[in-house]
Amino acid sequence: MTASDPPVDRAVPRAVDAAWRIEWPQLVAVLTRLVGDMTLAEDLAQDAHVAALEQWPRDGVPANPGAWLTVTAKRRAIDRIRRDSTLARKLPLLEGEILSSLDTGSSDPAAAVDEEITDDLLRMLFTACHPALPRTSQVALTLRMVGGLTTDEIARAYVTATPTIVRRISRAKKTIRDEHIPYEVPSGAELAERLDAVLEVVYLVFNEGYAATAGDDWMRIDLCTEALRLARVLSGLLPAEPEVAGLAALLELQASRLRARYDAAGRPVLLRDQDRTRWDRLLIRRGCAALARAHTLAHDRGRPPDRYALQAAIAAAHAMAPTQPQTDWRRIAGLYAVLAARFPSPIVELNRAVAVAELHGPAAGLELVDAVVAGGTIDDYHLLHAVRGDLLLRLGRTAEAGRELERAARLTANTAEQALLLDRAARPGAR
């Protein structure tokens, strides 16, 4: 760079990347409805991304970046439709719909775009969860198309190899295209048939936001917010379904702690160290009300609480404790035992071990963790080694603990979490 060169404004490319990351699911959902093909919609969205990289440094970042991207992508769609012979028969209908959606009667066509997004995301959600697709493909595709997660992030959520996730998504999109699966929210029995997969996807999107797979940020609040919004929309759509109420309860209660999970410098703050005055009491009340509704609905149908309601009950037990020492660990350990019996998994066992350690001491918790280790199914899951390291520290076995915590740090791609684990390993006396 010479003295005559203009200064480089790196804020604009960062703004483009942030808008792209946040708005990508909504953008692709809108475009899929218009052009009827997920892959083409992704291409058009990418065209809009390139346009933003070219124009925003010159013209400035727009007031509504997501709407700008959507409007730009729709205009690219018109050009693509005119050039694509396979879409020629749909040209009059699609071009008319796109032009109509851009004609808002205002000088700013972006202003009316936001209204269409919610319905399109729901269409995408239920289309991706069509029963013609295997469950693993349903979840992977929806996490990608609705949650905006990368294939690496999805692989982490399912403790699965990234190439496997890529193949699942590719096959799912091909099936939707080849079988002409309609892009719509179903009704009646067909809606209920897809519900389990839809709820699981919303749950996993929230989890990825709550503890991000990679990057510099401890959390991705945008994903938590989107998952919570979808859970609320589903609650309105299916008010008599206990599983929907249970998921809504869980996400409301977990979201209540978001502000307390990081300090002023953005560093992670673990549950035991959080300032509970920062917990959102409104979300706690909403979560407890949804949990009560889930129990009532399940009881009226003669069902036991589902896995979301059980996890929500655990979250509620934390929310009701004014301080960490006042936490009802006996209730939490008991709820985890029920959850492990009804929905067994090594990760549930790992969480149960944490509760048992608080109730009966670190040796009792370590015994459960070591049983998970012996199973060998989640050896590459960093939290397995983080929990084991923490329990070893509490038992005074600092050398072993340091090795476990360092291994946990190597297994996570989240730099904030890496720093937390390495600091813990370097300061074995800190609780």
- H or E element in which residue 215 lies: strand 214-215
Length of the chain: 431
Percent of the chain with pLDDT over 90: 53
Return the CATH number at 68: 1.10.1740
Range of the domain at 377: 344-431
283 and 361: one domain? no
Note the pLDDT of residue 95. Answer: 56
Say whether both 378 and 317 belong to one domain.
Answer: no
Rounded CA separation 208/217 (Å): 12
- Judging by beta carbons within 10 Å of its beta carbon (0-12, 13-18, 19+), is residue 167 exposed, middle or buried? middle
- Which tens digit of pLDDT belongs to each residue from 259-268? 999 998 888 9
> Do 100 and 145 lie in a common domain?
no
User: Is residue 127 located within the same domain as residue 102?
Assistant: no
Question: Which two three-digit tokens encode residue 311?
Answer: 């996890």
At 112 the pLDDT is 43
pLDDT digits (tens, 9 = 90+) for 17-67: 888 888 888 889 988 888 888 998 999 999 999 999 999 888 888 888 888
Q: Is residue 30 part of a domain?
A: yes
Quick one: 352 and 318 in the same domain?
no
Q: Are residues 202 and 143 in the same domain?
A: yes
Whether residue 119 is found in the same domain as residue 214: yes
Q: Which DSSP letter does residue 262 get?
A: B
End residue of a domain, out of 273, 300, 327 = 327
CB-based contact 42:63 (threshold 8 Å): no
Question: Where are the alpha helices (H) located in 301-345, listed in sequence order?
Answer: 307-320, 329-342
Last residue within a domain, chosen from 273, 293, 327: 327
Q: Are residues 323 and 376 in the same domain?
A: no
d(CA 242, CA 183): 26
In sequence order, what are the residues at sequence separation of 6 or more whose Cβ sits closer than 8 angstroms to the Cβ of residue 240? Answer: 297
Helix axes 346-360, 362-375, angle to 10 degrees: 160
Does residue 229 sit within a domain?
no
Q: Is there a domain that residue 5 lies in?
A: no
Residue 2 lies in a domain: no
Whether residues 210 and 120 fall in one domain: yes
Of all helices (H) and strands (E), which one includes residue 165? helix 162-178
**What percentage of the chain's residues is helix, strand, coil (to nearest 5)?**
75, 0, 25
Domains of the chain: total:
4
Read off the CATH number of the domain in which 403 is found.
Answer: 1.25.40.10
> Are 399 and 367 members of one domain?
yes
Per-residue pLDDT at 73: 87
Alpha carbon distance, N-terminus to C-terminus of the chain: 49
Q: Which of 364, 316, 310, 312 is nearest to 340 (CA)?
A: 310
Note whether 142 and 201 are within 8 A (CB).
Answer: yes
Are residues 201 and 143 located together in one domain of the fold? yes
For 6, which DSSP code? P
Query: Would you say residue 232 lies in a domain?
Result: no
Q: For residue 282, is it within any domain? A: yes
Q: Determine the pLDDT at residue 65.
A: 86
Q: Is residue 130 situated within a structural domain?
A: yes
CA distance 283 to 255: 7
Residue that finishes a domain, picked among 327, 356, 384? 327
Classify residue 334: in a domain, yes or no: no
Residues of the chain with pLDDT under 70: 1-10, 84-118, 159, 429-431
What's the pTM value of the predicted model, to 2 decimals? 0.76
